[in-house]
Amino acid sequence: MGKKTFAESILSWYRRHGRHLPWRETKDPYRVWVSEIMLQQTTVKAVTPYYDRWMKLFPDMNTLGRAPLQSVLKAWEGLGYYQRARNLRASAGIFVERFSGQIPPSYETLIRLPGFGPYTTSAVLSIAFDLPYPVLDANVRRVLMRYFLIEGNVSPNNDNLLRTNLDPLLPAKGMGDFNQALMELGALVCTPGNPQCLLCPVREGCRGLEAGEQEVIPAPKSMPSTRLEAVVAVFEQNGRFLIQQRPPTGLLAGLWEFPGGKIEPGESREQALRREMKEELGADIEVGPYLTGVTHAYTRFVVRLHVYECRLKTEPKKSGPPRRWITLRGMNRFPFPSGSVRIIRFLGNRAKNRAEEDSHTR
Ligand code: SF4
């Protein structure tokens, strides 16, 4: 299959079968950029409500560039990989200060800014400005590895080889649509487990299909195997709960959570709670009933949170991370990681059940 045919086949398939998504209705660089950051490691289904809400809260670059980081993190709450939100806010500040609120159409400028790796830079420049930068994300890598019959894992290590193969097939113009069409093909047809080759617009030139290798390329990636067990303490006083802020750097930096920590080898959960609270809060505690368990998967590990109702026997020390006693409703103002959001939901349901029980017994 020659150059024109590959690009044209993909583009005409995309025009007919591509999904209508809110960020595809526009070439506005700000909107393209936000959607591309949200879509990293995250499905279209999960992103769509966040994108809609985001555009109401931060409709343009100036609003985002001047927004407090906490409100940006709050809008991101539950979407994961929070560094993306921090980078969006940081780069928006730079665009407002140095570029009059515009995204400059320059690879060399963008690639130096927070959150602009080769993928995001190429995606924004091609989709918003129609500049000739191909993109390689996991979907595109998979399609191309199958199409060109390149074995191995989906990993950036193969990118040079993929680019060399792809170069002669690129369209002369319409690179943004071409990139989106390839990504869409990977999302809808050339899917990881069960590619729908019969529906594929480029099946005639696909070497993977010809060799019958379409289901074994790329080699499956292993799931995160490290599993951590942690305890979480819920302290409640007069309808308010104790939360504290995570450090400004590292995993889930700057988000809020209930106090807790990892269970050390040989420790019981109760021992871990008492030790963690002594270390974190400088307080002695009484461990009460088990409330709930929450499992959350990160990129490299899975955490199981064991949540206990606890009572303070001594006052927490004044030093340490910022802490607040907050009502469940007041928690809406703070950004939490997904694990904590599920604990808050549990506490909300428990409060509702208690209120119902009370009304029945009256
Ligand atoms: S023919 Fe099958 S394996 Fe090849 S690109 Fe299309 S869907 Fe993927």
Contact 24, 190 (CB under 8 A): no
Structure tokens given for 277:
């609270």
- Whether the pLDDT of residue 297 is over 80: the answer is no
208 within ligand 1 shell (Cβ under 6 A): yes
- Cα distance between residue 309 and residue 235, in whole Å: 6
Report residue 353's pLDDT band, with 50, 70 and 90 as the boundaries.
Answer: confident
How many CA atoms lie within 13 Å of 147's alpha carbon, on the beta-carbon side? 27
Distance of CA 120 to the CA centre of its chain: 14
Residue among 17, 139, 143, 191 to mutate when testing ligand 1 (max atoms within 8 A of CB)? 143
- Å from CA of 209 to ligand 1 middle: 6
Domains and CATH numbers, the chain: 3-210 (1.10.340.30), 226-361 (3.90.79.10)
Structure tokens given for 311:
């009572």
142 within ligand 1 shell (Cβ under 6 A): no
- Å from CA of 149 to ligand 1 middle: 10
- Cα distance between residue 30 and residue 270, in whole Å: 49
- Whether the pLDDT of residue 309 is over 90: the answer is yes
Q: What is the DSSP letter of 221?
A: P
Q: Whose CA is nearest to atom 8 of ligand 1?
A: 190
Give the Å distances, CA to CA, from 58 to 120, 232, 235, 297, 334: 20, 34, 35, 29, 17
Q: Whose CA is nearest to atom 2 of ligand 1?
A: 197
Active-site positions read 36
- Cα distance between residue 242 and residue 328, in whole Å: 10
| 291-308 average pLDDT score | 82
Report residue 356's pLDDT band, with 50, 70 and 90 as the boundaries.
Answer: confident
- Cα distance between residue 279 and residue 253, in whole Å: 19
Q: What is the DSSP letter of 232?
A: E
218 within ligand 1 shell (Cβ under 6 A): no
- Whether the pLDDT of residue 51 is over 60: the answer is yes
- Cα distance between residue 104 and residue 247, in whole Å: 33
